[in-house]
Amino acid sequence: MRQPASTNQRVVLVTGPSGAGRSTAIDSLEDFGFESIDNIPLSLIPRLIDGVGPLLRPLALGIDVRNRDFSATGLLDLYHLLGERPGIAVDLLYIDCSAEVLTRRYSETRRRHPLAPDASPSSGIARELELLGDVRSRADILIDTSDLTVHDLRREMKGWFGQTTGQRMAVSLHSFSFKRGTPPGLDTTYDVRFLRNPHWDPSLRAMTGLDEAVASYVAADPRHAGLVSRVADYLLFVLPAYVEEGKAHFSVGFGCTGGQHRSVAVTQTMAATLAHAGWQVSIRHRELERRGLSAADARQTDKAGRLGQ
């Protein structure tokens, strides 16, 4: 049985590509009361947690691909190992950024990329993003800094970790295609293939659920309102109970045939509903991410400035 939240040791593993803002994220966690250690080898983390006895503060550990024993498999194995330990509540936080923006940041600062010190930064960036692909797909919380300033990222971090010294539960919503299988780690899954499919409307086929025309088309299905209402009622009922149980994160999946239209639109609607109720929600659109798109593409605001190194 999971121990009560008050006895759980919070551990946040922070990783992501170089230049995305991982150091800023770790500094923010330290400001929120975490004990933070950056660039720690994976092999030392179990001994760190076992060797010092109960920690008085939540722990933030920065994981860098430059560490001598780093591997994506090793990091995910560690994540699962910690998650199975009684009294440990672990989150995998991935600070993301597009390759284009990372290349621009390295160009502006004239820094060498750690994985390509004697070549162009773009080659190192491509290598690092490929290396971290599996880690990114398994992250509990993903923050894309492509359009964020340093201050924006700190606000994002505060939303996730700033209250009650990092004890807020992370809620993530995922859209996906059943043809590619269900994403691992979901706590509950909803099949929305019964809603009418925009794919059969030639004017909507090339669009996604992030487009207003597609969202309106899906919402016009008479069954849509009942689906949203019932799912929202269920989630708003169980989420506080999982917080009391000490659960660190809760993942919800919405699947359709192609993962492009209905599941995306319903995920966006449900995220807005939960956010309005006061929950901090992250969004993952798996099939759109495969095409280089994300929930960030739905933003209408024009942010000034960009996140620094």
For the chain, domains (ranges, CATH) are 5-166 (3.40.50.300), 170-298 (no CATH)
Give the strand pairing for 249-256 and 281-285.
unpaired
HSE of 162 in the Cβ direction (CA atoms, 13 Å)? Answer: 12
Residue 256 to residue 188: CA distance in whole angstroms = 15
> Which pLDDT value is given to residue 86?
82
Contact, 23 vs 99, CB < 8 A? Answer: no
Residue 212 is inside which H or E element, if any?
Answer: helix 212-219
pLDDT (tens, 9 = 90+) of the chain, 309 residues, equals 233 334 578 899 999 998 899 999 999 998 888 889 998 889 888 888 876 556 668 899 999 888 778 899 999 999 999 988 888 888 999 999 998 899 888 877 667 777 667 677 788 888 899 989 999 988 988 999 998 888 889 888 887 887 644 446 778 899 999 999 998 778 999 999 999 999 999 999 999 999 999 999 999 999 999 999 999 999 999 999 888 776 777 899 999 999 999 999 999 999 999 989 888 788 989 999 887 765 444 443 233 333 432
Residue 38 to residue 50: CA distance in whole angstroms = 18
> Which pLDDT value is given to residue 194?
97
pTM of the predicted structure, to 2 decimals = 0.64
136, 173, 257 from 190: Cα distances, Å: 23, 11, 12
> Which pLDDT value is given to residue 183?
85
> Which pLDDT value is given to residue 184?
79
Selection from 164, 169, 173 nearest residue 245 by Cα: 169
> Which pLDDT value is given to residue 306?
34
HSE of 37 in the Cβ direction (CA atoms, 13 Å)? Answer: 12
